[in-house]
Amino acid sequence: MVKRTFDILFAFVALLMLLPLLLAFALAVSMSSRGGAFFRQVRVGRGGKEFRLLKFRSMRPGSEAQGQLTIGGRDPRITGVGFFLRKTTLDELPQLWNVLVGDMSIVGPRPEVPRYVALYSPEQRVVLSVRPGITGMASMDYVDENEMLAKAPDPERAYIEQVMPAKLALDIRYVRERSMALDLRIIAATVKLIFR
């Protein structure tokens, strides 16, 4: 209950404070290319329940049909505004709404698409016992994931065989060690990382 109360208060206050910035980003995204300001994607949350994750749209319409992995910061599908939003992770801000409505938490394992969740081992599925988060241990350690995958001969295989298991190991550790004190440390580290 303490974590959920914190999430609601944090998301509500953050949305109010960031409203002018969110509107400015939404306008910039809408003007950069056709397709609207937001991108919605089905992800898997707590208990294996699917929900629609919300982001600022950073790619041209129809890009997801060419693959769900983003390869490198200069993926040609990414718009100019989208590149800035991704580089600063500001494309994730609309997920504060997902937190407010209960799909997500501020801190937790990153929610994955159903296709990859289907590959989880029984041990890895423990990450589905908690609400997924906007940020977390794996999010910070793999902030340059796109660039890492761009260097791989087969990015899809590298993600499934190397990156995803490593991220899940960190997420499993978070689930086992989670506490409000740890959440606050992760939030502080995330803010520091964004400004750096």
Residue 75 has pLDDT above 80, yes or no: no
Please tell me what DSSP assigns to residue 127.
G
Both tokens assigned to 120: 């989880």
Mean pLDDT of 86-91: 85
Domains of the chain, by residue range, sit at: 2-195
Q: How confident is the model at residue 72 (pLDDT cuts 50, 70, 90)?
A: low
pLDDT at position 54: 96
Q: How confident is the model at residue 148 (pLDDT cuts 50, 70, 90)?
A: confident
Q: What percent of the chain has pLDDT over 90?
A: 66
What is the C-alpha to C-alpha distance for residues 189 and 175, in angstroms, rounded to an integer? 18
What is the C-alpha to C-alpha distance for residues 187 and 170, in angstroms, rounded to an integer? 16
End-to-end CA distance of the chain: 33
Q: How confident is the model at residue 178 (pLDDT cuts 50, 70, 90)?
A: very high
Mean pLDDT of 181-187: 96
Mean pLDDT of 153-159: 90
* Beta-bridge mates of residue 59: 78
pLDDT at position 66: 56
Q: How confident is the model at residue 65 (pLDDT cuts 50, 70, 90)?
A: low
Q: pLDDT: is 180 or 63 the higher one? A: 180
What is the C-alpha to C-alpha distance for residues 168 and 175, in angstroms, rounded to an integer? 10
Contact 135, 167 (CB under 8 A): no
Helix (H, G, I), strand (E, B) or coil at 62: coil
| Nearest residue to 60 via CA among 72, 70, 49, 50 | 70
pLDDT at position 74: 62
Mean pLDDT of 113-131: 97
Q: pLDDT: is 75 or 174 the higher one? A: 174
What are φ and ψ of residue 134, in 5° steps?
-70, -40
Both tokens assigned to 78: 């990414």
pLDDT at position 114: 97
What is the C-alpha to C-alpha distance for residues 25 and 189, in angstroms, rounded to an integer? 24
Q: What percent of the chain has pLDDT over 70?
A: 93
Residue 3 has pLDDT above 80, yes or no: yes
At CB < 8 A and 24+ separation, what contacts does 162-165 make?
164/112, 164/116, 164/119, 165/124
